[in-house]
Chains A and B, each alone.
Chain A
Amino acid sequence: DAEITQSPRHKITETGRQVTLACHQTWNHNNMFWYRQDLGHGLRLIHYSYGVHDTNKGEVSDGYSVSRSNTEDLPLTLESAASSQTSVYFCASSGGPGSGANVLTFGAGSRLTVL
């Protein structure tokens, strides 16, 4: 079955370190998204991509970067982790064929703690 996989599921790091969260989907979706979810703020869009080599900033992109070198993967990098980036991160994808094209499918999430 097709799926969207995030790794690691849990990560503890220190302030200032670079961290990369992986997202891999086997749906062959064109669109991929990264969100963070925090109490009181809900889900906020960090970056998104509509295809290979396409990346766009979302509403909370400062301190994050992404690259899209193939259809399946959209890794999220925190260049220099800050305590304010402690959160749960969700990857999502969409863009399948036919009537399912707009359905957004989510990964299980990655919980990041920055000490």
Chain B
Amino acid sequence: KQEVTQIPAALSVPEGENLVLNCSFTDSAIYNLQWFRQDPGKGLTSLLLIQSSQREQTSGRLNASLDKSSGRSTLYIAASQPGDSATYLCAVTGKIIFGKGTRLHILP
């Protein structure tokens, strides 16, 4: 059974720092991996999708990597801003399984 884990559950960093969020999964037979952002009381917004054949994807200050063999993905956020404060979730497919997310707080 696929399990997706995100560590840490919460993270606070000063504005301007670069940071890395982690996502690990137990079954490497995934179709793709997607990173989402969720603001309080809102739905999920897709940030990046990495196909199983890809190693990374970039969008602006965000870079997501995928290492299927080790069952890991990272989301790198460069030059963090207070507006980046949110919960970040990863999800893997075949069956879409979500991690429980990392609550990120950027300190002004």
**Chain A residues packing against B (C-beta within 8 Å):** 33, 35, 40-43, 45, 58, 90, 92, 102-109
Shortest CB-to-CB span from B69 to chain A, Å, is 21
Size bin of chain B's contact surface: 20 to 34
- List residues of chain B with CB within 8 A of the CB of A33: 96
Q: A45 contacts B96, CB within 8 Å? A: yes
Partner of A90, one of B43, B93, B101: B43
Q: A105 contacts B98, CB within 8 Å? A: no
Q: B46 contacts A105, CB within 8 Å? A: yes
- List residues of chain A with CB within 8 A of the CB of B34: 102-104
Partner of A107, one of B43, B49, B89: B43
B34 (CB) vs chain A CBs: closest residue: A104
Q: A108 contacts B95, CB within 8 Å? A: no
**B107 contacts A by Cβ under 8 Å:** no
Q: A42 contacts B100, CB within 8 Å? A: yes
Partner of B96, one of A41, A104, A108: A104
- A106-B36, A106-B43, A106-B44 provided; 15 other pairs, C-beta below 8 A? A33-B96, A35-B98, A40-B100, A41-B100, A42-B100, A42-B101, A43-B91, A43-B98, A58-B95, A92-B44, A102-B34, A102-B93, A104-B34, A106-B46, A108-B42
In whole angstroms, how far apart are the Cα atoms of A40 and B101 in the complex?
Answer: 10
Known contacts A102-B31, A102-B32, A104-B96, A43 near B42 by CB under 8 Å = no
In whole angstroms, how far apart are the Cα atoms of A43 and B97 in the complex?
Answer: 8
B48 (CB) vs chain A CBs: closest residue: A103
A4 (CB) vs chain B CBs: closest residue: B43
